[in-house]
Structure 1
Amino acid sequence: MVRLASAFLVSRPARWFGSSLRGLALASLIANIGIIVTGAAVRLTKSGLGCPTWPRCTDESYVSTPEMGINGAIEFGNRLLTFVLVAIAVACFIGALVRRRRSLTRLSVAIALGIPGQGVIGGITVLTNLNPWVVGLHFILSIALIAGAFALWRRVGEGDGDPVPLVPAPLRQLARVTAAAGLAVIAAGVVVTGSGPHSGDQGAKRNGLDPAQISQVHADLVFLLIGLTVALWFALRAVGAPAAAVRAVAVLFWVEMGQGLIGFVQYFTHLPVALVAAHMLGSGLVWTSTLAVLWSLRSRPESPAPAPPAPTPAAVGEPVPAA
């Protein structure tokens, strides 16, 4: 078995995975953002219980049946996308093995294990009749998988040396606080969703919290996030930070502004389906832009090559001491 695995890793198909690893990692990132949108489509079309059980779609069938209508097709289609994510994750794992870089292999394994975990949580969501807290956990795991896929994508193009900071420590700390605020905004948004009208099914329960109050908390956190982002941009400009870092923060700011605009419009127009779906996509883009900011504040060069051993006396023609 070991010989077969070794033979495969040096074969031409395996070498393709290795040379295409950066593209595969980007595909993983895009797919994990995309499944947020397809999951939103399931909820917004009230298809959350289109397949009323799990892991089967019905008690007798693993697939949806014509009698289940469009809701069953939508829910089952979303389940099938898990296999696409698994296929991409396996391809990334093979590519990382071919590259023989332990850091890439660990990241690819974490992503590959997270996707079945996501499927299990999705199953628990169905079995608990779309409990809003379980649905929220389902979304949070997607955020974690996006972080892993983004890290893999960026690490492929870096060396394995120790990270080198590009800005002073206080600014790196400010960036971390900004990222924490971004996570808080996402978490609050999950709670808002659990209190709102788009439950995924007519009979699904809500979390019982006041939507207006929770939405206000969410909005306050958004203002905090935007303020921290603006402060980080000015601070980076003040210290002459690399242009890439300043640009990454600017991109984050404009993504936040677009997301905030969608959020306010959807709230005051009573949560139309199209805007809610766009807001879900925006949450993935805000988080990805936040990760890009953190990555822009350091570099990771190639590890220095080990120094050659010092020549022995015999190698330089000197007499060897007698024993």
Structure 2
Amino acid sequence: MKIKIKKYVLPLKHTFSISRESHDFQDSMIVSLELDGKTGYGEATSNPYYKITFETMKAEIENVREEIEGFNFKDPEAFHAFLVSKKLSNFAICALDLAANDLYGKILGKPLYEIWNTDNSSYPITNYTIGLDSIEKMVDKMKEMPWPIYKIKLGTDKDVEIVRELRKHTDAIFRVDANCAWTAEETIANAPLLKDLGVEFLEQPLKADDWTGMEAVMHQSVLPVIADESCIVESDVEKCALHFNGINIKLTKCGGLTPARRMIKRAKELNLQVMVGCMTESTVGISAIAQLIPQLDYVDMDGAMLLKEDIADGVIIEDNGKVIFPTSGGSGISLR
């Protein structure tokens, strides 16, 4: 098996801001795995919150390149276990795991959702994210991209006012993501006002480790609350079940499709709502997420839609939210 690693700097359509950071470009690592005349592609983006850069991920993989290329690849699960044993970061493992799954499906000539025995005739529509900005610019972004579901990034002292103004311009479903910026008291107070404005749920309002605050929110919020920064790896699912109504799984944070599938299964056993989110990936990462959507309650896979220029072909998301799945195997990815 042969590895190739390449850096891409993905330009965004608009400056993307959340409560703790802003950026105009997204650094991304694309990994390809070649075997038996087939090539699988995977992706992991850099992230300052988790102190992950392209350079750190590439260095990790290069340190064990020889062992990876010498691995007797049979299926993604065994390969993922091998990568974990090498103590790579979950971000680096994610890129390799996505590539391995894409490769596996291409070798078998079947899309992943079919290999997993899931029916893709029904699935949730992705939301479209409106980054934190002036109200005028947030409205302009919505007008530029009419969509049935918006995720609204918040984290200011005027959050309810922002949502109230946005509501004047659309009948779409709203989801609110405060990215850890609120207190428990703010969350409980904001929830009924936001519910009246057509907000469906709140995503990670409190700091990731504020479990006491989240317990109060769970008992008093009139809106469901979905964990993001509090739910990173498989072992977090159990704890989140006591403090949240659902979880948002990020492939880069948990280490790829292989652990994400186990997290989905466990979350459903615990009666949690399940969402999978993106980290502004290109169509490489989004096509991998799309293979999971028949298993999900919600999905946030608008990463490629936020880019000025994409770097790959794969899953296509149409204007009405319908997903067109590639007919090729795996995640159906090809680089441009």
> If the length of structure 2 is used for normalisation, what is the TM-score?
0.23
Larger of the two Rg values belongs to structure: 1
Question: If each structure's strand is expressed as a fraction of its own residues, which one has the higher value?
Answer: 2
More helix by share: 1
Structure having greater relative contact order (Cα 8 Å, sep ≥ 6): 1
